[in-house]
């Protein structure tokens, strides 16, 4: 595959460039090395600075049947780059792959199915979701995309819309209602403890979607609780 095509697929833009591509056909693995372009002068390429500093490998979105891994060389003193093909320093997945996983989880797809589709080990996905739930993972998302993400949720006339502030008030414990269903008590306790640790806006929205989806799916047994939510609006 031509490197120019790879640059477009990965959205690699100056000053970054692809430096090396390794393909393991038998193992269905592709590793793409990305680094800073070497400066040029009137007399040709300047003296190479080398790739001193740090490097990290992130699992990226699959390229066809190949698992794509991006090895990024960060010059000394540089911070983790905020690019779709890179990720957080303590993360296993690139920003693009992390956003894809969060989006699917927000749609109610379970970890096992996500792992099957993306061909990712369940243990790796579990670690990723645990980091989200405990506030140790930040999902970089363009503001416009974040505002539009996942608002087309399953709805019910009896259940307030996902965008209603009542969900955040309930999840954060600022709205107290009488709860008769034990499973709801357990879910609220878990979500509240998670939100106390989470700072990322997109991950918080994921938690609110989980709570909203629970009400939609269990509307028949949550009449007492839903009546209180409607009165609180």
**How does the average pLDDT of the chain come out, rounded?**
82
For helices 95-106 and 201-217, angle between their N-to-C axes, nearest 10 degrees = 20
Domain ranges of the chain: 3-140, 150-232
State CA 103 to chain mean position distance: 7
Copy the structure tokens of residue 42.
């009137």
Identify whether the C-beta of residue 82 lies closer than 8 Å to the C-beta of residue 58.
Answer: no
pLDDT in tens, 22-72: 999 999 999 999 998 776 554 455 445 544 567 899 999 999 889 999 999
Q: Does the model's pTM come out above 0.75?
A: no
- Please tell me the predicted confidence (pLDDT) of residue 195: 86
Identify whether the C-beta of residue 94 lies closer than 8 Å to the C-beta of residue 34.
Answer: no
- Please tell me the predicted confidence (pLDDT) of residue 94: 94
């Amino acid at each position: 595959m031509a490197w120019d095509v790879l640059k477009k697929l990965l959205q690699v833009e100056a000053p970054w460039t692809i430096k090396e591509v390794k393909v393991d056909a038998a193992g269905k693995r592709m590793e793409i090395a990305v680094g800073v372009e070497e400066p040029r002068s009137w007399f040709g390429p300047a003296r190479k600075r080398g790739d001193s500093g740090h490097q990290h490998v992130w699992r990226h979105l699959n390229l066809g049947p190949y698992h794509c891994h991006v090895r990024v060389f960060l010059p000394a003193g540089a911070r983790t780059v905020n690019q779709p093909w890179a990720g957080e320093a303590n993360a296993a997945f690139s920003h693009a792959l992390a956003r894809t996983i969060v989006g699917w989880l927000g749609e109610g797809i379970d970890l096992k199915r996500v792992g099957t589709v993306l061909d990712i080990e369940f243990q790796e996905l579990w670690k990723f979701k645990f980091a989200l739930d405990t506030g140790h993972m930040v999902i970089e998302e363009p503001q416009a995309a974040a505002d539009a993400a996942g608002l087309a949720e399953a709805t019910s006339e009896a259940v307030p819309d996902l965008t209603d502030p009542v969900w955040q008030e309930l999840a954060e414990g600022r709205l107290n209602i009488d709860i008769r269903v034990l499973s709801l008590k357990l879910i609220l306790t878990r979500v509240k403890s998670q939100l106390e640790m989470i700072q990322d806006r997109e991950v918080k929205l994921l938690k609110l979607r989980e709570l909203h989806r629970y009400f939609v799916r269990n509307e028949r047994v949550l009449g007492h609780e839903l009546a209180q939510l409607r009165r609180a609006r």
